[in-house]
Structure formats: structure tokens, C-alpha cells
Amino acid sequence: MKRFARSPLACAAACAALACAAGARTAAAASVRPRAASPAVRTALGRLWLGAAWYPEQWPESRWPKDLALMQAAGINVVRVGEFAWSTLEPHPGDYRFGWLARAIAEAARHHIHVVIGTPTDAPPVWLTSRYPQVLRVHADGRPAQHGNRRQFSYASPLYRKFCRAIVTRLAQRFGHNPDVIGWQIDNEYTSESYDAGTRRQFQSWLEHRFGTLAALNRDWTTAYWSQTYTAWNQIPLNALPGNPGLMLAHRQFVTATWLGFQRNQLQALRAHIAAWQFITTNIGGLGWSDNWDHYAITRPLDIAAWDDYVGEGQLSFYRNGAMSDFVRGWKRQDYWVMETQPGFVDWAPISNSLVKGAVRAMTWESIGHGADAVLFWQWRAALGGQEQYHGTLVGPDGKPEPLYTEVQRVGREFKRASAVIAGTTPHSQVALLVSYESRWAIDFQRQTRRYHQLRVLLDYYRPLENLTHSVDIVSTRAPLRRYEIVFAPSLNVISRSLARHLRAYVLGGGVLVLGPRSGMKDQYNRLNVERQPGPLVPLLGGRVQQYYALDAPVAVSGAVGRGTGGIWAEALSRHSPATRVLLRYGAGNAWLTGKPAAIEHRYGRGAIIYLGTILNRRLMHAFLARRLAAAGVRSPFGVLPRGIELMRRVGAGREVVIVINHGEAARTVRLPHEMHDVLHPGHLVRTLTLRTQGVAVLEHASPG
């Protein structure tokens, strides 16, 4: 029997190259048909997309033309429809009523607006959940979910999947070749797992398929500890309680497999009937960083990745939002869509304040700069009823534009000017940050200190790297690495033998690998690696971690790059090879650490591996990373920028496009390395750029190549 470790999370096979459908019923549709569909179905479809979520089923048809005319006037060219409309599409079992949706799509086309159809399976109708209560999700405490909200079903329920496949098949048959439909979104923001008896049996069967024998499971989970040894598969629990580390990691992997199965059910139904030029995606929520399941695995079978970009309380943190955008781009290592973004304010934050004037425009352009080809707002018009009445919109319940409408309208004009320049380009980085869901889960299960927040640790690396290079990839540990001059792996807690081989090959080939604290502590079963840290990479490093310490106070750290402190976590390192050199040492303050190496480096093959065993303060971290980048030959022609300035580069099709945003509270001036065309002000050449607060510039290299 195959072991899970050899073939994790089996997915639907990748699609073969798709042929483009010839002809078009409307000129609008013809303008977006790709000439030859690629595995990404030509993600951008040749232009920038500005859109909104539109719910025509909530309004009289007589209102539709007015709403769509306002959208057209704002420069909106795509809407997402249908993802919550199951009770309108199928008001009674088998009674499919798609006429209203066909009319809505046709009316949108008359206003030169294309459509992405969301499958309606995130909000089942009451006839389904009342007749078949067995499809309802069960909370971790044993309570069944109730109708009246959304996502009250179990993703694992075979019966629920049957109903989903039926309506998705019918929708695909009806609209799969409609020239005004350019894509499909499966469901909406996968979220909560179920703890019902049927899902538990599926978990047990999944484990049996993965491990083959109970002896293997007991060995790999070390179940002799606390007499946890299992003698039957049906003894294995499914709950949300802290427990055996191996079981907890396996549960997260099972949740990912469950989501994949739910998604595959609809993916197959769509691909059986839709045209090659219609893409398929799903919108991932959770502010980008949710860790209930593996985003890399979920997006792998889809044509493009998409996410929902929200700030919530407070104001835009451009480093965090930029990092999340780069993270999303790394899911499939290609451009992506923002299927929902915040139209000023939300209704679910502790304080649902509005973003400052101009920030929505800046946030939209930031998404484009980091690799988005589309930004859609949630939602177009305020619903009269329902749980999200207070959420921000572009149009009020009376159908009149909200104050934010004019800001979005400006973006629409700018997209029209910049679309042809940006189409076919994507960010290109020499530097990567590695993310592993197994590592994230393993650390969060056993944090050792409540202050160790992995996203904050990632941002400690990302912030200076972005400042120094203006382009950072955030990718899976399984991604090809040869293109990168230097790779950083903060918190790479789980390093299996296969991952170690992958990283070793990168270093041997000339790459520089920088490991952060807690790296290599665990193997793929969440067991401690016997070599200590960094596990199977100890021979490569020529050293290892002697001991780790959760800190209650900072410790002094110094080296050739300067002096500072290490906080939250610290590891005392040792050298086993005379070729391994010390880069940083701990100073006085903690007797266990005093004088011990805090960072070491070993040249190996044509490359090098570096281990940093603590979380440095910002100034020392910047200096440390700047030295590593310089040694690797990585630099940006734009140099150091004024505080609050974000600069993003997209390259391709023989050109370079630079997007500059001033997120600061005062005007800033940026000196460019060469003259550039001002795309938003055609005919202007720029060498010195001055931007007011929330100002945006889109520039094209005057002499590309």
C-alpha cells in the first residue's frame, strides 16, 4: 500500500493544454478570448479587470440596468454573481430556474461587463438542510450547525456533494459556453471542518490508506507515550483538542484532503462541460494567512489562484498586505485575482472603521503591483436585509453612489490607461521566502511561548527584504529554487528527508539558504529529528543547535554587521566543521547563551547554508540581511527609498513596469535611476517623482531591455 508521505494529498490530474473556442457572439466577449489557452487559461485574459460582487437575485430586474450603468461609468468590467443564490437557482428539488441569471448576464454584457459565476454551494437552501439534516456540519463540541447562516454543511458529506454536483453540472451545461462568462469560482471561502461520525470514519479510512498498518501508525506517532497505542482503526479520535502531535498534524492534512475532494467534485463537473477559455478558481479568505488547510495543495488543480483581501480594523499595513499578496502569488507561482477587497470598511472587525481617503485606490494598485490582474470589491450594493447590512459597498441601499464610488471610478480610468502596458507582466524576484504548512501547524500546536507568532516572524524577514530588493517571492518548500540567488526559510520546523535533499541540491548548485530559528526540529510525522536541529541538514551546516530557549527578556547579540538584541526565541549553536564560521554571538544576559554562536555559515558545493538561531531586533536584522544580499549579489537599481514609499516591479513582454505608492502621511520624493514614462499621464517622462500621501504612479521603462 502506498504511503502518504510519498504522495501527499492526491489531486485531480493537471489539465492538458486547452484549445481556444473560435468565434464570439459579442464584441465584448471576443476581446477577451485567448488565442491559445494555457494551463492558467491566460490568467489576465489580456487586460486589467476591475469589478464587484453583484447580487441581481436580491433586486427587481427593473433596477439592473441602472446598477450596471453605474458600474460601467466607474470602469467596472467584470462582476461575480451567483455564489449565494442556490435558493433562487433551485427553489425546489430539481426545479432549476436559470432564466433570471441568463438575463442578468445578458444585461451585464450590454454594458460591456463580463461575468464570473460563483457556484452556489456555500449557502444551501432550507429544503436541502431540512430534508437531509445529515448533511449539516457538527461543531467540535458535538452541536450540529443550524440553517439560517451559511457554510452550515459538512464538506465531507457524500450526500451534500451529490447535490452540489447536480446544480454545478446544470450551471456548467447552461453557461459553460456563454461568451460573456469568463470564469467560475468554486464555492466561497472554505472554512470550517466537521466532527460528525461520518467524517470521523473517513478520517480513520484516510489514515489506514496512508499508513497501511496500525503498527506503522503507532511507530510514526510514538503512541507508546502515555499508552496511546491503537489496536483498531475505529479507536482513533477526531476532535479539536490538543493531543498526540502526529495525530494533530495528520488531522490538518486530512482537512486539506477533504477540501480537495469537495473541490474536485465541482471541478470535474465544470471541466466536463465548460469551454477552454473559461477559467476555474476559488476565493480564499482568512485575511490570506489562515492555516486551517494547505493553500498550495488547494490551488494546485485550479487554473488561477484568488483571494479575498481585507484589512478589517485599523488602516492598511502595506508590508503585511504586500507580503500576503506575494504569498498568494506564490500559491501557483503566477499572477492571481483578488476576488473580494474591502470597499472602505467591513462589518465584522472589533472596530469597523473606514480606510482613509485614497487608501482603497492605493490598496488596489498595491495588489496589481504584487501580481494581481483583477481586483473586485465586496460588494456592489448594500443589501436591505441579511447579516452583512452594515458592510461597506460602492452603492447604498437606495441605489445612489457612496462617497467611495468616485475613488473607484478614478481607479477605473487608470486601469483603462494602464491595462495594455501591464498585461503580460508579472513580478520577478531574485529572493524567496519559504513557507511550509506542516511547519506552521507543528509550531502552532506547541508554541513554547505565546509570543512566537509565525506571521510576525515572517514579516521580520519580509520587511527588510522588500526594502532592499523591492520584490520578494513567498513560495512553498516544494517550489523550484534554482532561479533564486538566495532563499530564506524562517520557522522551517518540519524538514523531511526529501525536503532536505531538495534544499541540499539548491545549495550544491550555488544557492544560498538562510534558515531561521526552530528549523529542522521535526520530521514529516511531527516527531523530533534525532540529529537535533536542523535535522537532516546538520551535515550540510557543519553544526547544529545545542539547545533552544524561549526568552522572557531580550539577549545581546553582536557580530561583524553590528550589535543588537535577540528576542522571543534563542538557540545556542555549535560548530562541527572547521569550515563553519560564526557570524553572530550572544552577549551577556543569559548564562546559557553567553558567548555561544547565534548565527553560523558553512560554504557547501557552489553555495552556502546559514543558520540564524534567534529573532533579531529590526536594526540588526536589516544589517544582517543586507550583508547576506550583498554577498549573494542581489541589489535593486532603485536603492533605498523614503519611508512609507512602496515600489513594485512587473516585467515581461519586453518591458518593465514600476508601480510606486506613497503610504506615508506627507509628500515624498523619489529619485529614479533613469527616465520612465508616466503611464497615468501619457506623454510625460519622469526622472524625479513626487507623490502626495496615498499617491500612486505607474511607470514604464523608457528604454526597456
Tens of pLDDT, residue by residue over 532-578, are: 999 999 999 999 999 999 999 999 999 999 999 999 999 999 999 99
Q: Do 528 and 670 have their domain in common?
A: no
Q: Do 522 and 484 have their domain in common?
A: yes
Rounded Cα–Cα distance for residues 638 and 473 (Å): 18
pLDDT for res 583: 98
Active site includes 665?
Answer: no
Instruction: Provide the domain count of the chain.
Output: 3
Q: Do 536 and 564 have their domain in common?
A: yes
Q: Do 650 and 583 have their domain in common?
A: no
Q: Do 316 and 454 have their domain in common?
A: no
Q: Specify the pTM.
A: 0.92
Question: What is the CATH classification number for the domain harbouring 363?
Answer: 3.20.20.80
Flag whether 504 is in a domain: yes
Q: Do 600 and 566 have their domain in common?
A: yes
pLDDT-based confidence at 387, cuts 50/70/90?
confident
pLDDT at 36 over 90: no
Q: Do 279 and 321 have their domain in common?
A: yes
Rg of the chain over all Cα atoms, to the nearest angstrom: 26
- State the chain's mean pLDDT as an integer: 92
Handedness of CA 354, 357, 358, 362 (dihedral sign): negative
Flag whether 374 is in a domain: yes
Q: Do 67 and 167 have their domain in common?
A: yes
Q: Do 411 and 506 have their domain in common?
A: no
pLDDT for res 45: 63
Amino acid occupying residue 532:
R
Question: What is the CATH classification number for the domain harbouring 650?
Answer: 2.60.40.1180
Nearest Cα to 436, choosing from 532, 307, 337, 522? Answer: 522
pLDDT at 33 over 60: no
pLDDT-based confidence at 147, cuts 50/70/90?
confident
Chosen domain end from 422, 443, 478 = 422
Average confidence (pLDDT) over 465-476: 97
Flag whether 217 is in a domain: no
For residue range 353-379, list pLDDT tens digits in order. Answer: 999 999 999 999 999 999 999 999 999
Flag whether 578 is in a domain: yes
For residue range 268-293, list pLDDT tens digits in order. Answer: 999 999 999 999 999 999 777 888 89
pLDDT-based confidence at 324, cuts 50/70/90?
very high
Chosen domain end from 391, 422, 453 = 422
Q: Do 437 and 408 have their domain in common?
A: no
pLDDT at 668 over 80: yes
Nearest Cα to 399, choosing from 385, 410, 383, 386? Answer: 383
- Look up residue 576 and give its three cell numbers: 562541527
List the 645-652 sheet strands across, edge first. 645-652, 655-662, 696-701, 668-678, 685-691
Q: Do 660 and 614 have their domain in common?
A: no
pLDDT for res 26: 34
Flag whether 651 is in a domain: yes
Average confidence (pLDDT) over 417-443: 95
pLDDT for res 37: 53
Average confidence (pLDDT) over 122-146: 95
Among 189, 193, 407, 571, the active-site one is 189
Flag whether 208 is in a domain: no
pLDDT at 402 over 80: yes
pLDDT for res 354: 94
pLDDT at 23 over 50: no
pLDDT for res 113: 97
Active site includes 107?
Answer: no
For residue range 605-622, list pLDDT tens digits in order. Answer: 999 999 999 999 999 999
Flag whether 230 is in a domain: no
pLDDT at 704 over 80: no
pLDDT at 32 over 70: no
pLDDT-based confidence at 35, cuts 50/70/90?
very low
Q: What percent of the chain has pLDDT over 70?
A: 93
Distance of CA 234 to the CA centre of its chain: 35
Among 340, 407, 414, 438, the active-site one is 340
Range of the domain at 649: 645-701
pLDDT-based confidence at 478, cuts 50/70/90?
very high
DSSP of 24-53? -SSHHHHTT--SS--TT--TTTTS-EEEEE
pLDDT-based confidence at 12, cuts 50/70/90?
very low
pLDDT for res 273: 96
For residue range 211-245, list pLDDT tens digits in order. Answer: 999 999 999 999 999 999 999 999 999 999 999 99
For residue range 681-696, list pLDDT tens digits in order. Answer: 998 999 999 999 999 9
Flag whether 256 is in a domain: yes
The answer to whether 340 and 302 are in contact (CB under 8 A) is no
The answer to whether 598 and 613 are in contact (CB under 8 A) is yes
Q: Do 288 and 243 have their domain in common?
A: yes
List Cα–Cα distances, 526 to 245, 442, 570, 613, in angstroms.
6, 7, 21, 20
Q: Burial of 500 by CB count in 10 Å (0-12 exposed, 13-18 middle, 19+ buried)?
A: buried
pLDDT for res 46: 63
| DSSP state letter for 138 | B
Chosen domain end from 387, 422, 457 = 422
3-class secondary structure, 456: helix
For residue range 327-354, list pLDDT tens digits in order. Answer: 999 999 999 999 999 999 999 899 999 9
For residue range 105-118, list pLDDT tens digits in order. Answer: 999 999 999 999 99
